[in-house]
Structure 1
Amino acid sequence: MKNNLEYKGMLRLCLLFICFFVPPPYFAHFPHGHCSKIFSNLHTQQQYQISGTVTDNYGPMSGVHVLIKGTNTGTFTNPQGEYFLLVNKNDILVFSYLGYHSRELPIMGRTSMDVQMQSEVTELQEVEINAGYYTVKEKERTGSISRVTAKEIELQPIVSPLEALQGRMAGVEVEQGVGITGLAPTIRIRGTNSLRNDGNYPLYIVDGIPLNSTPLQSGGSLTVSTGIDPLNTLNHANIESIEVLKDADATAIYGSRGANGVILISTKKGYDKQGETSLDLSLYSGISEVSNKVKLLNTEEYLAIRRKAIENDGFTPEDVYAPELTLWDQNRYTDWQETLFGGTASMTDVNMAVSGDNGYTSYRIGGSFRAQGSVFPGDFDYKRTTANINLNHRSKDNRFKLDFSANYGVDKNRIFNGSNFINYALTAPPNAPPIYKEDGSLNWENWVVDNPLAVLEQPQDIRANNLLANMALSYTIIQGLDLKVNLGYSKLDSEDMIRYYRERYNPERWDKIDLGTAQSATNRLSWIVEPQLMYQRHWGKLGMDALIGTTFQDNRNSHLNVSSTGYANKSLMGNLSAANEVRVLGDDNTEYRYGALFGRLGLNWAGKYFLNLTGRRDGSSRFGPDRRFSNFWALGGAWIFREKRGVQENVPFWSFGKLRGSYGTTGSDQIPDYGFLDAYEATDGVGGLYPTQLYNPDYSWEVNKKLEASLQLGFINDRINLELNWYRNRSSNQLVGFPLPFITGFGSVQANLPALVQNSGWEVQTETVNIRTKDFSWRTSINVTFPDNKLLEFDNIGQTSYDNQYKVGYPLNISMVYQYDGIDPETGLYRVVDINEDGRYNSEDRQVIINRGRRYYGGLGNHLQYKGLSLRFLFEYIDQDNLRNVFGAPSPGRYGNGPVDFLNTWQESGDNAHIQKLSQSSAARTAFSRAASSSYGMEDAAFLRLKNVSLSYNLPKAVLQQINISAMSVYVRAQNLLTFTPYQGLDPQGGRSSVPPLRTITCGIQLNL
């Protein structure tokens, strides 16, 4: 009996080997269901035959494996895609094919069942893309839309979701200026369109709610230039996808708000498995540190240079200007970079979400907490708490639908108020006095300037809370005709306080110092109502979808800025009623109203030819009564000229081809509110008024005309996808402050200037599946952008103050500098050319134009997976120039440390040196300053940065079933791990005095229960 059982077992294995591993053509001549009949002889249960056809988007599929789940019984489809199998009525069939998603379908007593398979690769063409007011399949889109998904976003231990876009999108520049948490990154979509810095912000939309993308105002020395990111309180772990709309076809439906591109952020929805409830847990913890340090002089080198400089000038060292040579310990060495920003910052992030679905109502409720330290000394940290809810409901007849989402976040950020840490670290002499005395107090003895850690007594606290709520209601009136209304509400409150303690200053001055604060409060409130009517219809091969709607939006903004002094003690600081003196430095309250009528008509013929017409009429309260309305439109088209399975065509490797193009206009009203009105303020006396703003009711909208052409190709059954885009955007009627002579009493007046700015360029994107087997896969994505920004026209620019800032025919981001002329062989000092030979060096001699923008940029990503082990990594690369590192230091020989380059200075005539001679003289300082503002002042700052690495392991299902867990993964992730660059400063993007993005390593776990 035992031998008989072993014989049957061996027979099963042989049959499985034949049916699983022998290619279908070898047994295609066998009768239909040959393997299944053999298997059926081994079964004793009563069975019947089921049949069907398996297809994909291109037709019948041969060789698809059809298996009865939980058994070894199965078959393969024949060349016509047909299968025949003996089954029981309660069986479940599993359909699988290499490169396609497996499908599990219950038989439920059926005798026939046709199945359509979805390719793992071509799902890229089938995925639904969020285009704002509508969705569209990737292969059918007529506009330029880039997308990152939750999988890519959650890989990064970031605060602002915009940081997730770095290196991942063609045509999208995201620059994280300094490595300080919470500061707003700079983002540009296809270049700079406006002459005004505040006129280039894209439109942010979160779940249908438009947000003010302008960074929050802040008075700190580190935050005043960049501001605070208004998206900080949004939990990036709750984001489903981020879409970026770039061309006219994609952005015109947003009218004036989409002039600089649109960023759509969609949060995660409820569970998609009916009758189940899911609990998702995520926890990671890690550390961060500064990823680079500058090579500076040590004590011996620095003191030798100082002595040589004083000797060259014919002086002797004195306490006043050379304390490091006369007063300080000649053998002390302090690595100030390590001391002031060489710390290790800890990080912890916890996320939890519960979701469920009963077939008609789904929900997702979640929350998160994040705590992050600082690399700087002192108690500087960032904390954020968020909560979110998403509710989706549909009626039993599917005619009524409700989508509700709310996201609430609170964050607290304490940073030091001053760039002293960075400046001190790079310039403080290495033998400077110790920071602390023996009793632990700050040491002020013999310091030429303030003690570096004095800024610890000048902390800046930033707090914000943000609520975003959206409700979308829709009702199907008749089949194909839907009525929808989108309701949105947002409220952001931010407080910023800087405390000035006495300990910030030398104790000798304490009797003259009052305790004081600088405080500001920003409040933003907005609501939006958008009724819409949507219609879809098909007539044979002709399909149509139309949309018409209106927008009513109201924004209210206030900003209060006050200073206070004279507090009795520290505990009262911030309570204005306890101050002796309070000064209101600014109190702005504005209201902005916006209305629009928009429409879209989309046509397609046979799924090959697509036409998209968009129009919008906008009205803005920022213009005078006769200039408030303007019209914007766009036309986009696409032609899918090839969509066949390559093996069936004459060109076997070519599987997809599409041409796409668009042209249209968008506008911009990104100017201050009430700029067209006369404005007055009361004088300090009684009954007086004085003007604060000039009246100009005639300026109107900026207009941005966008043109694009694109080619998309797929090869080897879409295992290789290529997209090539060419774009040209022209922004005219520039809204700027027109400069006025100061004798008028005003520096400028709001007006339209006859300037035309052009952004053009090429974008290349590829996605490839390099290897794809049962257990191993390797995918690669590459994007690269070649931008070209240019001031195309500016009538009479020579008669304006912009003549020293811009040049027609050149980019907006330029520097006009002197022509470098080497080192003077007689004086040993840097020399620049006096162009007009008038003996003076001024703007007329600055004739060399240097492009400060990016020459090209992009990203290279890879995803390798072996069974449950997954490795992802992304490289970001940028080609650019930045200020030469040596010119961020004091001139060679002056007080203050410098780079090791100062060891090779000019000594005598004939020296082939790149650093001028050592000297403290005013002539040396002037020469050094002029060289910094010359063509020699820039150096190559191109870099390749390993932006993100993620190694994760998904535990096998067999293991998880034993512990009753649906999914579990453990991972290690790294951010900004390596940077390859010839640049000698701290950061090739930020420059010598900017802390680079922090190197972060985290370990975490994800659970699904």
Structure 2
Amino acid sequence: MKNNYKRCNIVVLIPLLYSFFFLGKMNASPFYYHFTYKPKLFVQQQITGIVRDQKGVPIPGVNVIVAGSSIGTMTNLDGEYTITTSVGDTLLYSYIGFKAFKVQVTETFSGDITLQASIDALEEVVINAGYYNTTKRERTGNIVKVSAAEIENQPLVNPLQALQGRMAGVEITPTVGIPGASSTIQIRGTNSLREEGNRPLYIVDGIPINSAPIDGVSLIGQYGGGADPLNTIGLYNIKSIEVLKDADATAIYGSRGANGVILITTKKETTAKSQLEAHFYTGASSLPNRMEMLNTQEYLKVRKAAFENDGVEPTNSNAYDLLVWDQNKYTDWQEYFLGGTAPVTNASLQYSGGSSQTGFRLGGSYFNQGTIYPTDFKYEKVTGNLNLNHRSNDDKLQLNLAVNYGIDRNDLVGATSLLSFPFSIPPNAPSVLNRDGSLNWDDWLAVGQNNPLSGYFNNTTSRVNNFIANLSISYRLQEGLNFKTSMGYTNLQSREIQKMPSYSYNPNYNRAHQSTHTNVNRTSWILEPQLLYEKNLLGGTVNAILGTTFQKNTGTSEQLTGVGYVSDVLIGNLAAAESVTGNSYLDTEYKYNAVFGRLGFKWQDKYYLNLTGRRDGSSRFGPGKRFANFGAVGAAWIFSEEKFIKDEISWWSFGKFRGSYGTTGNDQIGDYGYLDAYEVTTGPSGLYPTQLFNPNYSWETNKKLELAIELGFLKDRINLAVNWYRNRSSNQLVGLSLPAMTGFNSVQANLPASVENKGWEIELNTRNIQSKGFNWQTSFNISFPKNKLIAFPDLENSSYQNTYQIGKPLNIRWLYEYDGIDPETGYYAIADINGDGRYDYNDRIESKALVREYYGGINNSITYKNFSLDFLWQFVKQEGTLLFMDAGRIGNQRQEALETLNADSPYQMASQSIFGLIAYANVQNSPFFYTDASFLRLKTLSLNYEIPKSILEFLAVQQANLFIHGQNLITITPYKGLDPESPQTGNSYGGLRTLTAGIQLNF
């Protein structure tokens, strides 16, 4: 106590002396300062309060910091906080969407604070730009963001499907409506002539993820491209998804960002107070549409007309459906195969807590979805997540650990006919299953036909284990200078077994039990040390990043087949098979190294400049070609900060011009493509070459240009952004054709071909109504993409002459010219352009571009008291094909087949002859069956009700929400196929209609 008294005297004496010697000269009373000074060392207190908005609603997650110190906390879900401070300290309160607030602590300070909504919300929206953060106001690049609330409101398996209709310039198309199947994603079009060269870069918590679908022999592998590696991430653990599109945003990723970058950020703890969050929903999925097919009487009528038109007598072999099968039997095969209801269940549990220095979030989720097919197979996934972050007392050291682990299990029937036969089996066909559940072979073999469900008892089980971990360490070396390093590791293992028992096939073949095993392993690690610098300079702020990347990926893929199991119980146990053969084996290694830097300058809060550079090295190219330089420049001018606008035009709240230009590369080709390759011959000690040596090919190059304007009106209640972009990809990596005398079909090389993607993107956000009890916000986006091949030297003499055309999109089909119905034969006719009496590619002079003319979405968010309603309409303008009009042949047809019985029908007459079949095959390669496949779809709908606090108090529950979520509920389209989102044949579908109900609880 004695020592403290001396310290107090010294503290008080210093201002006293200062007052006597200096302030006394200015007639200031020194005794006044002596009387009012209160040393902070002895007046400490614990502040407890609530932070609310202007409507009195508590705000969770508000940062509360003691100015000039490392002491801080966050408000809990009820807006409550507790912090220890001293009288005279200044508390800083900050939260996205609200103005920052500061207050000095006094002895009577209650701790209750009211935050005001920020007039300029753009400044508060923090955006993850990859290696750094920015705001929507200050960004120089094109970065769009989807928040956690928008992701959680959708009953989905894959997080990327949540982006559909929400982002301009981003196309996401499901390949097939089977849970777990990958989606096709394109950011601003197709840049490469190779399919695998158009995949964007996936980044999860700073770690690059191999975006290639996982191979397999299941329905997903055959029809859906493979399983998506992002399935194993829990949707309730995602904080946000950002998509980087232009050169300024992607150049810092160099070659990896050529096709855009998708950043997935997982959640961290939100408060130092322990919290438990629980989500649960259950519901069902079903096929949202049906194709109108012929019933039995209509089908038989068309079939009989076909024999009459051809002048052929029906027999048991060519007309068993007319003479053998029951003429009164009717089975709706669409309903039989695709009419089931798939139950859906999801449960998630997250626990977070910690202290002001250390916080954690630990959780897991379970998802289960059945099938609409006539089987009991299902899809399941279990995910786990851990996020741990810590900062030292002096705030110099910061550490963050993010771990995600997921198990994905898919049980699928092995019969591929489930996707095609619902539309082709005659409606009066006999049953495919016997009463005991076995395949009905007798009725089908009696007419010489295979049972459509051949392979029905095949069972394909695929299991994916995916581990993703990242450790980020940051240390402040001095004020404005930080050292940071990010270390990541991923391990993905996929095991797929397809069991094929003999009783799943025609018994006449005496087929043995068989199994196919597909194993895929992917492992990667990455290390990225960085220096980050920030300093006020010349009236502005300089931000700089300098770093390097070391990355290594390894992968193995093998497929084995076991044949001759004694019992079906042993199928899958390779040790019990009579013979085991290796179908394929692949072992790859990929190394990547880069040096990157960024220099950003902000002056007067209205002028922004961003310079980015990266030097990349890839092991996929030969010596001397492995390194390349990429970079970009981005600039922005917030002209609304200029005095002539700010002072004179009050209704114009925000205006910004933005532009960028730069280059990125692309090395998305197979590993070791530049080396000679050999395979072992079937004979002893033999090798034969399979690939030619070519060390001279190197990076594809993508040059990106963008100009944009962003406007805000009426205090940012109306925000408009218009973007124009042009991307040109050159030095294309393709397989160049070789003469047959070389013994090889092609060699990997760079082709001086150029692909251009350009277009317009428009985004509009409005706050239509904003009041105490009712709020309504709308967001709208639309994209007008244009893709074309602008250069391809000697195209007419290359192997691609029948694939591409200068000035046309890459995804085109060369078609015959449709010449109407031949009046002499009654069959479809196409034009013989060169008059040589045959039809080949020389006669295909028309082309159809299978691209979207425009697409977008409009989302509305409405809140009224405790209710909230969100719904998104997705729209697409496009063309597609619609087949199943080979009227008269065995197999069901669309309802339009009845029109073939009319004299003025646009379709050829019903026929079962070979000539009618040839005519139908030819017309499929003409514009005849192309149709408008545009659609307007209610993509998502979410209705939430927050249970009042008064009801929850006695349950010790902090917050509870009841909700109903819907997906693909309504589709308005002129397309008569199954799903306009997958309009290539008419019988495929991209997504199911799903309706779920659930509850969210916070304790």
Under a length normalisation based on structure 1, what TM-score does the superposition of the two structures give? 0.88
2:483 is matched with which residue?
483
The code of the aligned residue for 1:1003 comes to A
Tell me: CA distance 1:68–1:507, structure 2 relative to 1, closer, same or farther (3 Å): closer
CA distance in 1, matches of 2:109, 2:362: 42
Contact 2:251 2:664 in 1 (8 A): yes
Tell me: CA distance 1:67–1:610, structure 2 relative to 1, closer, same or farther (3 Å): closer
2:416 is matched with which residue?
419
1:492 is matched with which residue?
492
Contact 2:121 2:716 in 1 (8 A): no
2:342 is matched with which residue?
345
Please state how far the C-alpha of 1:912 moved relative to its aligned partner: 2.8
Contact 1:271 1:278 in 2 (8 A): no
SS at match of 2:940: strand
Please state how far the C-alpha of 1:925 moved relative to its aligned partner: 0.9
Pick from 655, 665, 688: which aligns with 2:653?
A: 655
The code of the aligned residue for 1:169 comes to M
CA distance in 2, matches of 1:160, 1:196: 25
Q: How does 1:384-403 map to 2 (within 5 A)?
A: 384-403=381-400
CA distance in 2, matches of 1:383, 1:106: 54
Q: How does 1:658-669 map to 2 (within 5 A)?
A: 658-669=656-667
Please state how far the C-alpha of 1:989 moved relative to its aligned partner: 2.3
2:156 is matched with which residue?
158
CA distance in 2, matches of 1:1000, 1:395: 47
Q: How does 1:682-701 map to 2 (within 5 A)?
A: 682-701=680-699
1:332 is matched with which residue?
329
**Are 1:296 and 2:293 an aligned pair?**
yes
**Are 1:277 and 2:302 an aligned pair?**
no
SS at match of 1:164: helix
CA distance in 2, matches of 1:480, 1:93: 22
Tell me: CA distance 1:242–1:449, structure 2 relative to 1, closer, same or farther (3 Å): farther
2:564 is matched with which residue?
566
Pick from 707, 725, 728: which aligns with 2:726?
A: 728
Superposed CA deviations along residues 338-378 of structure 1, whole A, max 9, x for unmatched, are: 00010000011000010013100010000111111000011
The code of the aligned residue for 1:486 comes to S
SS at match of 1:708: strand
The code of the aligned residue for 1:561 comes to Q
Please state how far the C-alpha of 1:937 moved relative to its aligned partner: 2.4
**Are 1:888 and 2:880 an aligned pair?**
no
**Are 1:148 and 2:146 an aligned pair?**
yes
SS at match of 2:635: strand
Pick from 937, 948, 955: which aligns with 2:929?
A: 937
The code of the aligned residue for 2:526 comes to I
**Are 1:902 and 2:894 an aligned pair?**
no
Q: How does 1:709-748 map to 2 (within 5 A)?
A: 709-748=707-746
Please state how far the C-alpha of 1:646 moved relative to its aligned partner: 12
1:436 is matched with which residue?
433
1:262 is matched with which residue?
261
CA distance in 1, matches of 2:645, 2:596: 45
Superposed CA deviations along residues 685-728 of structure 1, whole A, max 9, x for unmatched, are: 33322111110000010000000001000001000000100000
Please state how far the C-alpha of 1:785 moved relative to its aligned partner: 0.3
Structure 1: which 5+ residue stretches go unaligned? 1-62, 70-88
CA distance in 2, matches of 1:1008, 1:103: 28
SS at match of 2:569: helix
The code of the aligned residue for 1:968 comes to A
2:947 is matched with which residue?
955
Percent identity among equivalent residues? 49
The code of the aligned residue for 1:249 comes to D
Contact 1:271 1:277 in 2 (8 A): no
Please state how far the C-alpha of 1:104 moved relative to its aligned partner: 11
The code of the aligned residue for 1:252 comes to A
CA distance in 1, matches of 2:575, 2:708: 63
Contact 1:298 1:430 in 2 (8 A): yes
Please state how far the C-alpha of 1:541 moved relative to its aligned partner: 2.3
2:229 is matched with which residue?
230
Tell me: CA distance 1:219–1:406, structure 2 relative to 1, closer, same or farther (3 Å): same
Pick from 964, 971, 981: which aligns with 2:973?
A: 981
Pick from 907, 911, 918: which aligns with 1:915?
A: 907
Contact 1:738 1:750 in 2 (8 A): yes
CA distance in 2, matches of 1:213, 1:94: 42
Contact 2:501 2:571 in 1 (8 A): no
SS at match of 2:443: coil
Tell me: CA distance 1:645–1:93, structure 2 relative to 1, closer, same or farther (3 Å): farther
Contact 1:290 1:996 in 2 (8 A): no
Q: How does 1:466-545 map to 2 (within 5 A)?
A: 466-509=466-509, 512-539=510-537, 541-545=539-543
**Are 1:640 and 2:607 an aligned pair?**
no
CA distance in 1, matches of 2:646, 2:598: 37
2:20 is matched with which residue?
none
Contact 2:486 2:527 in 1 (8 A): yes
Contact 2:757 2:786 in 1 (8 A): yes
Superposed CA deviations along residues 161-188 of structure 1, whole A, max 9, x for unmatched, are: 1101100000000001211111110000
The code of the aligned residue for 1:467 comes to F
CA distance in 1, matches of 2:351, 2:113: 33
Contact 1:67 1:94 in 2 (8 A): no
SS at match of 1:140: coil
Superposed CA deviations along residues 448-489 of structure 1, whole A, max 9, x for unmatched, are: 533333332112211100000000001000010000110000
CA distance in 2, matches of 1:950, 1:995: 23
CA distance in 1, matches of 2:55, 2:829: 78
CA distance in 2, matches of 1:166, 1:503: 43
SS at match of 1:380: coil
Q: How does 1:805-954 map to 2 (within 5 A)?
A: 805-883=803-881, 885=882, 887-889=883-885, 891-905=886-900, 907=902, 911-954=903-946
Superposed CA deviations along residues 477-524 of structure 1, whole A, max 9, x for unmatched, are: 001000011000000000122111112112333xx2010111110000
CA distance in 2, matches of 1:570, 1:826: 58
Superposed CA deviations along residues 837-877 of structure 1, whole A, max 9, x for unmatched, are: 11111100101011110100001100011011000000111
2:209 is matched with which residue?
211
SS at match of 2:230: coil
Please state how far the C-alpha of 1:117 moved relative to its aligned partner: 5.1
CA distance in 1, matches of 2:420, 2:284: 24
Under a length normalisation based on structure 2, what TM-score does the superposition of the two structures give? 0.88
CA distance in 2, matches of 1:350, 1:206: 22
RMSD, matched Cα = 2.6
Tell me: CA distance 1:320–1:66, structure 2 relative to 1, closer, same or farther (3 Å): closer
SS at match of 1:316: coil
The code of the aligned residue for 1:267 comes to T
Superposed CA deviations along residues 556-605 of structure 1, whole A, max 9, x for unmatched, are: 01000111211111222222221111111111101000000000000010
Contact 2:620 2:673 in 1 (8 A): yes
Structure 2: which 5+ residue stretches go unaligned? 1-52, 60-86
1:409 is matched with which residue?
406
The code of the aligned residue for 1:898 comes to Q
1:586 is matched with which residue?
584
Contact 2:439 2:504 in 1 (8 A): no
Tell me: CA distance 1:638–1:101, structure 2 relative to 1, closer, same or farther (3 Å): closer
Pick from 181, 185, 188: which aligns with 2:186?
A: 188
The count of aligned residue pairs is 916
The code of the aligned residue for 2:476 comes to T
1:1006 is matched with which residue?
1000
CA distance in 2, matches of 1:105, 1:237: 36
Contact 1:499 1:573 in 2 (8 A): yes
CA distance in 1, matches of 2:101, 2:617: 51
Superposed CA deviations along residues 118-174 of structure 1, whole A, max 9, x for unmatched, are: 536632432110000000011000000010010000011111111011000000000
Moved more, 572-581 or 559-568: 572-581
Tell me: CA distance 1:544–1:103, structure 2 relative to 1, closer, same or farther (3 Å): closer
2:798 is matched with which residue?
800
CA distance in 2, matches of 1:416, 1:408: 27
